[in-house]
Amino acid sequence: MSEIVENITPTNEEEELVVRSDIEAGWQLKRRKELIADRDNLIAFYQARIDAVKKDSEVKLSIIDRALFLFFQTVEHHKTATQESYTHPEGKLVWKKQAPEFKRDDKAVMTWLKSNDGGKYIKTTESLDWASLKKDVTVMGNTIVNSDGEIIPGVEVVEREAKFTVE
C-alpha cells in the first residue's frame, strides 16, 4: 500500500490532498466519479472523430485504388501463375490471385473423419483443468495438498499483499 501512495504525485492545485472526514471522503468519491466520466466522454468523443477520419480516408483511398486498378488494366504488366504486376517509380500495382476460403463445419467434418478412418487428421490435446483441481485441494504453506494430504508437485503458492481499490 505504501508503494501506491508514494507513486501518486499531487498536482500544484492539490499539493497535499488529505481526507479528514466522511463528508470529505464523499466529496472526493463524487469528484473521482466525475473525473472518470469526463475522461470516458473525452475518449468517446475523440474515438468518434478518429473513426470518422478513418472512414473518410478509406472512401478516398478506395476511389484512388479503383482508378489505379482501371489504369492497371490498360498497361502492359508482368504476369505469373499467381499474380500480375506493374512497377511504377512511385509504387507497384499488384493483382494477386487468392487461395479459396474454406467455410467449414468442423463438427460435420469430424463426424465424417471418425466414420471414414480419418483419425490421423484429428488432434487430441491434454490440458490441466486448474479450476476443478483448485476446488479439491487445500493450501498448506507454499504448497497444495489433496484430500489424502499428499503434496501435489508443480504448484508453488505465493502469497500476495492486499490491494487497495476504490469502487
pTM surpassing 0.75?
A: no
Condensed to tens digits (0 to 9), the pLDDT of residues 107-126 reads 999 999 999 988 899 998 99
Q: How is the chain split into domains, by residue range? A: 15-99, 129-156
Strands, E assignment, the chain: 78-79, 83-88, 91-96, 138-140, 143-145
User: Residue 1 has what pLDDT?
Assistant: 38
d(CA 34, CA 11): 18
Residue with cell 482508378: 67
Question: Does residue 164 surpass a pLDDT of 80?
Answer: no
pLDDT tens digits, one per residue of 56-91? 999 999 999 999 999 999 999 999 999 999 999 999
Using CA atoms, how far residue 130 sits from 127, 135, 136, 153, in Å, is 9, 9, 10, 14
Section 90-98 average pLDDT: 94
User: Mean pLDDT throughout 94-101?
Assistant: 92
Highest-pLDDT range among 2-6, 26-30, 160-164: 26-30
Residues 94-119 have a mean pLDDT of: 92
